[in-house]
């Protein structure tokens, strides 16, 4: 399958930014700018913004995602959100295994896998984040790190379920630092991820998976990054909070 046949996805990851009122304002500003996008457009927003975001994007081509979900259907998990709570209000995507969850909140490949399985079972589309630390890259173990994350995070995910999985390659050293991976570095690892998926599933299944790049992607570098064969869009942090910048990235992915 060639790149043109895969679905390019530009997803904003708002992190812990924007109140519900601000979310509505930002989405109202983004919507007309991306109305003719030739790629999927998603905003992944804080939990309390979800209802407002879904309301604000009714009748637009913007889909809404959450920034995490728990694996249990309900129970004594203070501070967590279940998949059912998300699907009931119309959430379609969920970011899982973001490096900030792994670094600051003890997320492991095992919990990322549990969340991924639960999300898929509930009909949510997980955006599973993988990426190496700077030190791991310097020690030349990027491929080992990524192979391990892909294998563990997708453990027991069936080929049928894989059709609803999006992978985001996010080198940790590039997130929120202003240091973008070069387009060649991004392509190299995204191609490696696809090769790993081909080993774990098969080539056809791997060819159909959307693999995004994330890490200081912005309106200035998106064109080159998304032009690469195995880079099918981006997961955007900082630049997704500015309507014009986010729209410019969507435009780059629509070419
Ligand atoms: C992210 O949070 O997933 C991200 C890529 O952030 P930024 O674009 O700000 O580096």
Residue 1 domain-assigned? no
Residue 98 domain-assigned? yes
Please tell me the residue having the least CA distance from ligand 1 atom 6: 237
Cα separation, 32 vs 34, whole angstroms: 6
Burial status of residue 131 (CB atoms within 10 A of its CB: 0-12, 13-18, 19 or more) = buried
Cα separation, 208 vs 37, whole angstroms: 20
Residue 2 domain-assigned? no
Residue 225 domain-assigned? yes
Question: From ligand 1's centre to the CA of 79, what distance in Å?
Answer: 23
**Encoding tokens for residue 161?**
């379920």
How many domains, in total, are found in the chain?
1
Residue 4 domain-assigned? no
DSSP-derived secondary structure letter, 180:
P
Task: Output the CA–CA distances (angstroms, integers) from residue 150 to 128, 162, 248, in the order listed.
Answer: 9, 12, 30
Please tell me the residue having the least CA distance from ligand 1 atom 1: 237
Question: From ligand 1's centre to the CA of 76, what distance in Å?
Answer: 31
Question: For strand 166-169 and strand 40-44, is the pairing parallel, antiparallel, or unpaired?
Answer: unpaired
Residue 128 domain-assigned? yes
Residue in the structure block whose two tokens are 């792994």: 102
CATH assignment at residue 105: 3.20.20.70
Q: Please report the pLDDT score of residue 75 as a whole number.
A: 98
pTM for this model (two decimals)? 0.97
Section 210-230 average pLDDT: 97
Q: Would you say residue 1 has pLDDT above 70?
A: no
Residue 165 domain-assigned? yes
Residue 127 domain-assigned? yes
Query: Residue 80 is part of which domain span?
Result: 9-253
Question: For strand 233-236 and strand 125-130, is the pairing parallel, antiparallel, or unpaired?
Answer: unpaired
**Is 187 one of the annotated active-site residues of the chain?**
no
How much is the mean pLDDT over the chain?
97
Q: Please report the pLDDT score of residue 7 as a whole number.
A: 84
Q: Which atom of ligand 1 is nearest to the CA of 177?
A: 10
């Amino acid at each position: 399958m060639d790149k043109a046949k895969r679905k390019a996805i530009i997803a904003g990851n708002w992190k812990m930014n924007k109140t519900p009122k601000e979310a509505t304002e930002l989405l109202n500003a983004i919507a007309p700018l991306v109305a003719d996008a030739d790629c999927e457009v998603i905003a992944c927003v804080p939990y309390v913004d979800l209802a407002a975001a879904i309301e604000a994007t009714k009748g637009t081509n913007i889909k809404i995602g959450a920034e995490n979900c728990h694996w249990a259907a309900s129970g004594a998990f203070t501070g967590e959100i279940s998949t059912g709570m998300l699907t009931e209000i119309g959430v379609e995507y969920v970011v899982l295994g973001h490096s900030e969850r792994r670094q600051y909140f003890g997320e492991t490949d095992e919990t990322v896998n549990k969340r991924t399985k639960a999300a898929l079972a509930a009909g949510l589309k997980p955006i599973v984040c993988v990426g190496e630390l700077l030190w791991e890259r310097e020690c030349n173990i990027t491929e080992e790190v990524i192979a391990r994350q892909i294998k563990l995070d997708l453990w027991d995910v069936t080929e049928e379920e894989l059709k609803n999985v999006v992978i985001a390659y996010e080198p940790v050293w590039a997130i929120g630092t202003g240091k973008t991976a070069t387009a060649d570095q991004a392509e190299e690892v995204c191609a490696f991820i696809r090769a790993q998926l081909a080993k774990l599933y098969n080539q056809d299944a791997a060819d159909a998976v959307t693999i995004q790049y994330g890490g200081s992607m912005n309106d200035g570098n998106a064109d080159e990054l998304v032009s690469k064969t195995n880079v099918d869009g981006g997961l955007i942090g900082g630049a997704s909070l500015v309507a014009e910048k986010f729209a410019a990235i969507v435009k780059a992915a629509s070419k």
